[in-house]
Amino acid sequence: MMKKIQMVDLHSQYLKIKNEIDNAIQQVIDSCAFINGPAVKDFQKDLEEYLGIKHVIPCANGTDALMISMIALGLKPGDEVITASFTFIATAEVIAVLGLTPILVDINPDTFNLDPEAIEKAITSRTKAIVPVHLFGQCADMERILDIAKKHNLYVIEDACQAIGAEYLFEDNMRKKAGTMGDIGCVSFFPSKNLGCYGDGGAIFTNDNQLAENLRAIVNHGMKVRYYHEMVGVNSRLDSIQAAILRVKLKYLDDYARERNLAADYYDNAFNNHPKLKTPVRSANSTHVFHQYTLVTKNLDRNGLLEYLKEKDIPAAIYYPVPLHLQKAYFNQRYKEGDLPVTEELAKRVISLPMSTELDDEQLEYITSSILEYANK
């Protein structure tokens, strides 16, 4: 019988490395070094090496990583931060929580990532930073975004929560990993992310020594020396058990990306050139780690398709149904419907299919033939 299809199959993934994971967890329990134990430092070092970056600062989750980055860069209320409207809420939320002003702009319809021209048009004298989101596992147009940032003297904070392991290719053939190109990079280790732990987790990346020192202080109540608080900080730690799990899984991250790409290739082949289904466009400058495999429907009842799949026991999801600039919490005098046409159109037409390291051909065949059945009706 066919294995039940899940949006992300974490259990099958765990079973393949069960011994290693169980041992890693048991070691932390035996040591009782639950907070800032050796596992955290070991994982930090391994990740620094994997990414080719000087500093990884582990923290409690991806949302904190973004917020702490903005605190460390000294962004102040009234400062404007440009980011995408087509993203998970966390990106804009932390900007607003800090009293900064999120400026939400449109995206490239092929890559779902920030449109550099839209960024440039949105820059004012109050703009302090750009937050490119490497959405669905593919890097934003970093060459142009970094050029714009340099020209206008802006910080770049990469939201790489969905793209850990993706690689960007610059025009001079230099390759850099997602999260290591801007001033700061942020990732999440939420269980369903490409490198997921068994709870919450996150990390901040930078090559800047001074910034790293401040980031390390901020995640730990603003202290560099115990009980001496040099700056206002927060409590945002990656716990040792999660670090131990991540250290095991990091070894498999590139294999995981390969497995996701195999599933993506299967989908691509099935839907290739279909008049009603546009497959994800692979950017020439970035590898894709397929956090999501997202189709854009054309002349097709997208919500009907979603319902149809549900009836067939195939989970699918809409990332994201309502753009941030039209969300109640962010909709203000600045935005009205129609302001970001690409984002608004995609929100109505996208559908993300099951994607994980564990999809087998039988499942993929069932998913693709069900979708084609609906689309060809």
Query: If binding is defined by CB under 6 A, does position 43 make contact with ligand PLP?
Result: no
Instruction: Give yes or no for a contact between 257 and 194, defined as CB atoms under 8 angstroms apart.
Output: yes
Closest approach, Cβ 299 to ligand PLP, in A, equals 29
Instruction: Give yes or no for a contact between 294 and 263, defined as CB atoms under 8 angstroms apart.
Output: no
Which of 190, 267, 271, 330 is in the footprint of ligand PLP by CB under 6 A? 190
If the CB atoms of residues 352 and 363 are measured against ligand PLP, the closer one turns out to be 352
Query: If binding is defined by CB under 6 A, does position 202 make contact with ligand PLP?
Result: yes
Q: Which residues contact 120 (CB under 8 A, 6 or more apart)?
A: 148
Query: If binding is defined by CB under 6 A, does position 264 make contact with ligand PLP?
Result: no
Instruction: Give yes or no for a contact between 84 and 322, defined as CB atoms under 8 angstroms apart.
Output: no
Which of 70, 119, 129, 133 is in the footprint of ligand PLP by CB under 6 A? 133
Binding part of the chain for ligand PLP, among 55-63, 110-118, 292-300, 358-366 by CB under 6 A, reads 55-63
Compute the distance between CA of residue 85 and CA of residue 324 in angstroms, rounded to an integer. 5
Query: If binding is defined by CB under 6 A, does position 161 make contact with ligand PLP?
Result: yes
Radius of gyration of the chain (CA): 21
Binding marks (x or -) toward ligand PLP, 74..93, rule CB under 6 A? -------------xx-xx--
Query: Is residue 104 left, alpha or beta, with left meaning phi > 0 and alpha meaning psi from -120 to 50?
Result: beta
Closest approach, Cβ 202 to ligand PLP, in A, equals 5
Task: Give residue 125's identity as a one-letter amino acid code.
Answer: S
If the CB atoms of residues 60 and 316 are measured against ligand PLP, the closer one turns out to be 60
Query: If binding is defined by CB under 6 A, does position 138 make contact with ligand PLP?
Result: no
Diameter of the chain measured on Cα atoms: 68
- SS3 of residue 260 by DSSP: helix
Cα 242 to Cα 1, 99, 179, 218, 367: the distances in Å are: 34, 31, 20, 20, 33
Query: If binding is defined by CB under 6 A, does position 162 make contact with ligand PLP?
Result: yes
The residues that touch ligand PLP, with contacts defined as CB under 6 A, are 61-63, 87-88, 90-91, 133, 159, 161-162, 188, 190, 200, 202
